[in-house]
Amino acid sequence: MPEMHFHIRWPDGESERCYSPSLVIKEHFEPGQSYELADFLGRSRLALTIASDRVRARYGHPCSLALGQLARIEARAARYRAAPAAAVHVERFEE
């Protein structure tokens, strides 16, 4: 199963390298685009859940790395929920 990383920049300017066990991320994000925080979270939940489900279908168990990445994204995003124009920028994909 092809895995990939995607690089994002949080509203405070800090960059983060994120993991996905599947290329499904490419169906939900576009490099160079910024996403409102709620939109970014929704897309992340959907994409990483699909990725984890693909691992489950193939190997019989969900992907703990994908679910852990989602938990880290959600925890980090909580810092910015009060910011009115918080957006996350998708910098690039890395396969």
Residues facing 85 on adjacent strands = none
Q: In whole angstroms, give the CA distance from residue 50 to residue 67.
A: 10
Q: What is the DSSP letter of 81?
A: T
Q: What's this model's pTM, rounded to 2 decimal places?
A: 0.94
For 82, phi then psi, to 5°, come to: -85, -15
What tens digit of pLDDT does each residue of 12-58 get?
999 999 999 999 999 999 999 999 999 999 999 999 999 999 999 99
Closest CA to 90 of 40, 21, 47, 56: 40
Handedness of CA 44, 51, 66, 2 (dihedral sign): negative
What tens digit of pLDDT does each residue of 51-88 get?
999 999 999 999 999 999 999 999 999 999 898 899 99
